[in-house]
Amino acid sequence: MIERALHVLEDHPIFDAATGAVLTLDGDCELDACLMTDAGRIGAVAGLRRTRHPISVARAVMDQTDHVLLVGAGATRFARHAGHPDWNPRTPERIAWWKHLRRNLALGRTGPDVRFWKRMSAWHRTYGLYETVGCCAVDARGRFAAGTSTGGIWMKLPGRVGDTPVPGAGTFADRWGAVSLTGHGEGVLRLQLARHACDLMRRLPCQPALESAARHAAAHGVECGLIGVDRRGRFGAARSAGWMQVSGSGATGLRYAQGV
Ligand code: GLY
């Protein structure tokens, strides 16, 4: 179910995942995804290129290999072997915006999409929005799973990996709940926020647990949004920054999860 819900979101060009993913500083898409169940089964990919459904490649890592995380060229090669053909995720809208951001970087200007990158203008000569998508689910037997898929953040350095494919950071499921995050990957990685939110669900219902995790993020200056589900099937969504589109990307995943 998680996988199917994320296919819909990965195919929609409005979201920063697969088709519509934001572009790196050199204008490419590097895709990250992770799938995790409460039984400790995990598959993840990072820096995957030219693939329509990164979440399914993550699933293939989980189901068909002895590994947890494949990256870069190895991940792309594995995707082809696993039956995922070449696919161009770069949309004309993203390419046009990338050109605009490149011009601004060249002029030393920053803006909302590149505000996390304080040292990037030094790199723009060398190298050529958020809205990660996520889904959390619990089945009738109380088994949890979480999945997240993203293109990362505009103008990231090639090779940069965010929180999404790292279990415990952007994606986590255990016997207390499941959580998926969008937001500033470096900050979410440092705080291991998905795991932190699931830990809070040991004693709190989903919504207050996510709100507490969001406050924790805000206290550390981390801009993020979380969706989750707890043991009693209660879904929630929270964000640490007002502009975060948890009700866009996150809650879209949430609605799919609720539709089960
Ligand atoms: N949260 C997505 C990323 O930072 O890559």
Is residue 167 over pLDDT 80? yes
Q: What is the pLDDT of residue 121?
A: 59
**pLDDT tier at 243, thresholds 50, 70, 90:** low
Provide the token pair at 154.
């505009």
> Worst-scoring range by mean pLDDT, 28-32, 66-70, 229-233, 247-251?
247-251
Q: Is the CB of 183 under 6 A from ligand 1?
A: yes
Provide the token pair at 134.
């996520």
Question: Which stretches does DSSP call E strand in 62-206?
Answer: 69-71, 133-138, 144-150, 171-174, 177-183
Q: What is the mean pLDDT of the chain?
A: 88
Q: What is the pLDDT of residue 114?
A: 65
Is residue 104 over pLDDT 90? no
Ligand 1, atom 4, residue with closest C-alpha: 185
**pLDDT tier at 103, thresholds 50, 70, 90:** confident
Ligand 1 centre distance from Cα of residue 174 (Å): 21
**pLDDT tier at 251, thresholds 50, 70, 90:** very low
Q: Which of 30, 172, 184, 227 to mutate to test the pocket of ligand 1 (most atoms within 8 A of CB)?
A: 184
pLDDT digits (tens, 9 = 90+) for 170-220: 999 999 999 999 999 999 999 999 999 999 999 999 999 999 999 999 999
Ligand 1 centre distance from Cα of residue 189 (Å): 9
Q: What is the pLDDT of residue 246?
A: 65
Q: What is the pLDDT of residue 170?
A: 97
Q: What is the pLDDT of residue 105?
A: 79
Q: Is the CB of 185 under 6 A from ligand 1?
A: yes
Is residue 244 over pLDDT 50? yes
Give me the percent of the chain exceeding a pLDDT of 90: 76
Q: What is the pLDDT of residue 257?
A: 36
Rounded to whole angstroms, the Cα distance separating 260 from 252 reads: 13
The residues spanned by each domain of the chain are: 2-85+130-256
Sheet of strand 171-174: strand arrangement: 171-174, 177-183, 224-230, 235-239
**Mean pLDDT value across residues 88-115:** 84
Is residue 240 packed enough to be buried (19+ CB in 10 Å), middle (13-18) or exposed (0-12)? buried
**pLDDT tier at 32, thresholds 50, 70, 90:** very high
Right CATH for 2-85+130-256 from 3.40.50.1360, 3.30.565.10, 3.60.20.30, 3.30.930.10: 3.60.20.30
Give 57's contacts (C-beta < 8 A, 6+ positions apart): 33, 45, 48, 51, 75, 78, 79, 82, 84
Q: Is the CB of 236 under 6 A from ligand 1?
A: no
Give 84's contacts (C-beta < 8 A, 6+ positions apart): 51, 52, 53, 56, 57, 60
User: Annotated catalytic sites, by residue?
Assistant: 132
